Amino acid sequence: MSCPIDRESLEKLKQFLTFVKAQPALLNLPQLGFFKSFIESFGGKVPEAKMQPEFKADSAPDLKDSDEAFESDAESELELDMDGCVEPDKLSDDQKMGDPSIEEVSEENSDKADSLRQEAMAQLGEGNLEKAIELFTEAIELNPNSAVLFVKRGQTYLKLTKPNACIKDCSRALELNPDSAASYKFRGRAYRLLGEWELAAKDLRQACVIDMDEQTDEWLKEVTPNAKKIEEHLLKKERKKKDKEERERLERIRKAREAHAKASAPGEPSEAGGAPPSWAGGVPGMENFFKLMQDPEVSALVQDPEVFQAFQDILKNPANQSKYESNPKFVALKKIIETKFGGGLFGAAPPQPQGDDLD
């Protein structure tokens, strides 16, 4: 007995069965009800596979609520030790930064600035912090290109518990000398006082790389537990974001498949009434549509919400194609489909009325 089905049809049937085997939940679609009944008529049972929940407009708030719940839960899990943190200080106009346009400092001004620096260091050693700040500022006015002056004044601001002022001075010192271990050290400590644990750890690590000392190492060990908690928290959020994006991508593909299956079902009229017009093209069989959606270029474009909306709209009614002809994203998708699938889902747009046709 010879097989009544030609080889090409058998290949298509094999493709269809392979796809359904990988996604058995598809057999629950109304369009495939006939095949499900066929399996059950032989005593078979279609397994209940988990499907992505159908996304409806009125279910959007639930998704948002779910995301907000995750953010809330994630934040509640992030318990940081804030002991030792201080209120941020306000920057003052008295924190003069010198004239940055001065490229070369005269020898006379350089000597005066050095003399003031030594006097300021003496005042710093005696605990006269405000006087030391004044002297460092005078020196900076004379020599604004000295990284040492900025970092020493930044250190003094740190002793006055003014972390923002310290950060400003140390950042300027690093602009002048990117290899200043002291600048990283004191700026890292200032970030720690503000509770900026990641920034503190980053600066203190860099200070240890350049020139580690016992105090820097101690400060780094102090901030590491909180910094590590924050880093792990951010990684968790990033994984959650990627998982959500992947679920949304799969949902868009599923909806596109269902929309096409509905639009191309035999005897089912399009939204505009009647069968789709000949100029609209069409995929000759569900298995070809599955191939199309598995194409990486098509899949990548359909992930774009704007393209997916146009794609779904045209599947429901091919006449809607004309609404998207000026959209470059849609044009790119159409070109790929026409090139790879010989017309694919989209054919030429219907002729527009011209001249006397408008009367």
Give residue limits of the domains in the chain.
19-51, 107-233, 253-352
Task: Give the integer Cα–Cα distance in Å for 145 and 101.
Answer: 10
pLDDT at 187 over 90: yes
What percentage of the chain's residues is helix, strand, coil (to nearest 5)?
70, 0, 30
Q: What is the pLDDT of residue 337?
A: 76
Residue 201 burial (C-beta neighbours within 10 Å; 0-12, 13-18, 19+): buried
What does the pLDDT look like over 32-56, one tens digit per residue?
A: 777 777 787 777 777 664 443 333 3
pLDDT at 186 over 90: yes
Task: Give the integer Cα–Cα distance in Å for 205 and 211.
Answer: 10
Kindly state the tokens that stand for 250. Answer: 């799969």
pLDDT at 223 over 80: yes
Q: Which residues contact 221 (CB under 8 A, 6 or more apart)?
A: none
What does the pLDDT look like over 227-239, one tens digit per residue?
A: 999 888 888 888 8
304, 296, 280: which is closest to 340 by C-alpha?
A: 296
Min mean pLDDT across 33-37, 156-160, 213-217 is at: 33-37
Q: Identify the CATH number of the domain defined by range 107-233.
A: 1.25.40.10
pLDDT at 190 over 70: yes
What does the pLDDT look like over 67-80, one tens digit per residue?
A: 554 444 444 467 78
Task: Give the integer Cα–Cα distance in Å for 261 and 266.
Answer: 10
Kindly state the tokens that stand for 131. Answer: 């006087």
CA dihedral defined by 158, 160, 163, 165, rounded to 10 degrees? -100
What does the pLDDT look like over 91-120, one tens digit per residue?
A: 988 899 999 888 899 999 999 999 999 999
Q: Please report which confidence band the pLDDT of residue 357 belongs to, taking 50, 70 and 90 as the band edges.
A: very low
Please give the average per-residue pLDDT across 329-336, as a whole number: 80
pLDDT at 81 over 70: yes
Burial 326-336 (b: 16+ CB within 10 A, else e): eeeebeebbeb
Min mean pLDDT across 24-28, 158-162, 242-246 is at: 24-28
Q: Please report which confidence band the pLDDT of residue 160 belongs to, taking 50, 70 and 90 as the band edges.
A: very high
CA angle 188/191/195 to nearest 5° reads: 135
CA dihedral defined by 180, 184, 190, 196, rounded to 10 degrees? 160
Task: Give the integer Cα–Cα distance in Å for 203 and 218.
Answer: 13
Please give the average per-residue pLDDT across 245-268, as a whole number: 77
Q: Which residue has the tokens 């679609």?
A: 29
Torsion sign across C-alpha atoms 323, 329, 334, 337: negative
What does the pLDDT look like over 269-299, one tens digit per residue?
A: 444 333 433 333 443 344 455 566 667 777 7
Q: What is the pLDDT of residue 231?
A: 86
